[in-house]
Structure 1
Amino acid sequence: MTGMPADPRQRRAARHAQLDSAPPRPRKQPITADRITDAALQVIAAEGYDALTIRRVTALLGTAPSSLYAHILTKTDLDDLLIGRLFAEIELPEPDPAAWRDQLRAVYGRIRDQFLAYPGVARAALAMVPTHLETLRVREGLLAILLAGGVEPQTAAWALDSLTLYVSAYALERSLVQQHKHHDDWVLSREDLIERFSALPADRFPNTRRHAAELTSGTGHDRFDFTLTLMIDNLARGKRH
């Protein structure tokens, strides 16, 4: 063959020299819990929580599902990572007995905003027993605020569950409304609702007709702030004396 050494040893050396001069192949990044979480949040931010599957995550990472099993075994494990990542961004104040109500509202407002940034992700928090250290850190901080406010431990424990459930449900509802609007589903405006309520039979729906404006009032987080404040202020009945 023209240009190739006749001696087999020289030919072998020439092949090795070609291999040595070839650019090295880029190493694949190792699969880690952080990279899995990053990919999952990327899916949710772009397509919503309903689109999140193990297959979608592995496609983004360019790997096979089996490579994830060292870090997660089920979708619930992935949910735990997601909520832990979001809660890692939550800053907790030093519990202040004089400002515990405001502190609770502020922390839960941050949790709400974290959930709303990733449409539908609140669903991951609704039926999950928290095990991630960051999730437990935030729960510990919230419990400390309640206790600092003089709320009885049993009342504080149940209040923590109730407040967290409300915030998760609120964020999920908001994401569903946005999803309907995005897909041009039938979403009534406030004006449409008032018109429909006002047209109901007066003998069967007198209060709905009379108070249609009040029933449909509130913009942005008005109702969220109202309900959270109502729940927190009512905890004074369970305070230690």
Structure 2
Amino acid sequence: MSNAAPGTPAPPPSPWDRRRRPRAQAAPARLPLSRERVVEAAFTVLDDQGLDGLSMRRVAAELGVTVSALYAHVSSKDDLLELMYTRLFDGFELPEPDPKRWREQLRDFAHAGRRRLLSHRDMARISMAHVPFTAELLPHVEGLLAIFRAAGLPDHIAAEAGDLISTYIDGFVLEEGMWQDRAAREDGEEASLARPDWHEMADRMRDYFASLPAEDFPNLRALSGLMVSGSSDTRFDTGLEIILRGLASYLPDTAPGDDAR
């Protein structure tokens, strides 16, 4: 409690009571830019904006750097897309060919491929634009051809089968992504990775086919309950099985113990 008369100015602070100026806190150290960080940032932008919204400028903004800083690690947007596609194969290895389990091995390959493409938005579009003939991906192509040839497929079929299966995977996932974006737009929301309500859309399609004039569209009406039935997983497996049975038809004869369904 002060005894100074009212209105008396306060004395200056004593030199012995001077408080030290607070030490300025150092700014957190910025992580050095690297190719890995650029690719991770590109995936973030891709999932948020889609392939049409992916640009070097947006990747740079995500990292808080200038666009020119990116070019020390990637040469172009196409180079970046190739790095993103290659990254999906990290940790993936094909098994040693087993002639008795070749169809099971190809099913596993196809399921893994679909999971890779579904892990990020629009990856099917990126996949379709990039051939896997890089140093990192050629071993996967070699391993897939080994499974075909070990199964006994003729060489001219083995040479085409890998592209056939890969195109099926790309096309199926591309369609899934288009339905996802369409469902999101219809809901008035931004497109996202959330899966659409397939059952609701399938019900609408079934009702439409069933309402067609029977005299003009007897087959659409007859198959209306089957054409859009099942989940995406079921539809993918059915299409894959059609391909595998077609490949099996080129074998000289079915080997004992083959895992044919």
Shorter-chain TM-score bucket reads 0.7 to 0.9
Distance 1:232 1:208 in 2: 26
Distance in 2 (alpha carbons) for counterparts of 1:76 and 1:239: 40
Which structure features the higher share of helix residues? 1
- Shift in Å at residue 130 of structure 1? 2.5
Aligned match of 1:90 in 52, 77, 92? 92
1:101 matched to 2:113? no
User: 2:235: which partner in 1?
Assistant: 223
Aligned to 2:65: 63
Q: Are the aligned partners of 2:42 and 2:54 in contact in 1 as well (CA < 8 Å)?
A: yes
Assess, with a 3 A threshold, how the Cα gap between structure 1 residues 127 and 240 changes in structure 2: closer, same or farther.
farther
The match for 2:204 among 164, 176, 192 is 192
Does residue 163 in structure 1 map to residue 136 in structure 2? no
TM-score (norm 2): 0.76
**1:44 aligned partner:** 46
Give, as a single letter, the amino acid of the residue that structure 2 aligns with 1:211: L
Number of the residue aligned with 1:30: 32
Q: CA RMSD in A?
A: 2.4
Rounded Cα–Cα distance in structure 1 between residues aligned with 2:230 and 2:123: 24
Provide the residue aligned with 2:74 in structure 1.
Answer: 72
Amino acid at match of 2:135: L
Greater shift after overlay, 187-196 or 197-206? 187-196
Q: Does 1:232 align with 2:244?
A: yes
| 8 A Cα contact 2:132 2:141, kept in partner | no
> If the length of structure 1 is used for normalisation, what is the TM-score?
0.81
Unpaired segments ≥5 residues, structure 2: 1-22, 189-197, 254-261
Larger radius of gyration: 2
Residue 240 and residue 75 in structure 1: after superposition, are their counterparts in 2 closer, same or farther (change >3 A)? farther
Q: Give the C-alpha shift of residue 23 in structure 1.
A: 6.8
**CA distance, structure 1, for counterparts of residue 110 and residue 138 of structure 2:** 15
Secondary structure of the 1:98 match is: helix
Q: C-alpha separation between the residues in 2 aligned to 1:49 and 1:89?
A: 24
By how many angstroms is 1:105 displaced? 0.8
Distance 1:131 1:33, change over 3 A: farther
Give the deviation of 1:143 after TM superposition. 1.7
Q: Distance in 2 between matches of 1:36 and 1:157?
A: 36
Residue deviations 1:74-133 (CA, integer Å, cap 9, x gap): 322122111111111423212111101100110110110111121211111102122443
Task: Tell me how far apart the structure 2 counterparts of residues 176 and 135 of structure 1 sit (CA, whole Å).
Answer: 27
The percent identity for this pair of structures is 37
1:61 Cα shift? 1.6
Unaligned runs of 5+ in 1: 1-20
Cα distance in 2 between the residues matched to 1:236 and 1:93: 20
Instruction: Give the 3-state SS of the residue equivalent to 1:99 in structure 2.
Output: helix
